[in-house]
Amino acid sequence: MSKTNKEIVQGFIDQVLNQKNIDLWDEYISKDYVSHAAPYIGMGLSTHTSSEKITVTSVAPGSPADGKLRVGDEIIRVEDEYNVWDTFKQLKTAVMGLGQTGTTIKVRVQRGEGTFDYEITRGFIEGFDIPYELAQENLRTFLMDDYPDMKVTVKQIIGEGDMVACYTESQGTNSDFNRQSIWPESVFYRLSEGKIVEEWYVADYVSALKQLGYDIKAPEA
């Protein structure tokens, strides 16, 4: 007997997220999968953090960073009206892209043999569409490196047609700070032919950052 869409989503959470069976990704996720991130104010780029550098992995079309930063750029320095981040440790843990619309952030990148400086004015970002391979790599880093003991608890799950809505609480110890945090997430999954093909999610990462000890400053009047 085939599984219901709710059972497939629950299996993904149990097996891939909680048991860290990343190799089962293809069992639950379609090759046509796209994850739609929430809108925000910022530069309009996503990055990947390795053990040595922070690399731009995508730039949103029409965003403030579009036409300036490129996929593959290594971010080596960031400055805004309040802070300067110029070491790998600072850049890795910084909430450096967020801020007020119309304010400027200065970014220095390494591109090939050259170093380039850009001024980027923060603006409204519709939200990234994260494709299959990048989503898998981001999840692997998050589960194996950032929160290796993370557990996801399903609080509510509702299925109707090809859609499943899921409200969860995630809890884990951040490997950089050795501090625990817990945060809620709401995710809408669309399934086709027994696999997750699309998702929309909103997570309270600000609450998680506060629990880790980040100082969320009020803007100057």
At residue 122 the predicted structure's pLDDT band, cuts being 50, 70 and 90, is: very high
DSSP state of 12: I
What does the block give as tokens for 9? 């989503």
For range 189-214, the mean pLDDT: 93
Q: Could you read off the pLDDT of 64-101 as tens digits, one per residue? A: 999 999 999 999 999 998 889 999 988 988 877 777 88
For range 196-204, the mean pLDDT: 95
What are the extents of the domains in the chain?
Answer: 5-38+127-212, 40-125
For range 127-149, the mean pLDDT: 89
Q: Could you read off the pLDDT of 147-169 as tens digits, one per residue? A: 999 999 999 999 999 999 999 99
For range 121-126, the mean pLDDT: 90
**Domain 5-38+127-212 class?**
alpha beta
- Of the listed ranges 12-16, 83-87, 179-183, 205-209, the least confidently predicted one is 205-209
Q: Candidates 2.60.40.10, 3.40.190.10, 2.40.50.140, 2.30.42.10; correct CATH number of 40-125?
A: 2.30.42.10
Are 78 and 93 in contact, with CB atoms under 8 Å apart? no
CA distance 11 to 35: 18
Please determine, for residue 221, whether its predicted confidence score (pLDDT) is greater than 60: no
**What is the reported pLDDT for 105?**
94
- Of the listed ranges 19-28, 187-196, 205-214, the least confidently predicted one is 205-214
CA distance 13 to 166: 10
Return all residues near 1 (Cβ < 8 A) that are at least 6 apart: none
Q: Could you read off the pLDDT of 15-54 as tens digits, one per residue? A: 999 999 999 999 999 999 999 988 888 999 888 887 789 9
Bigger pLDDT: 200 vs 98: 200
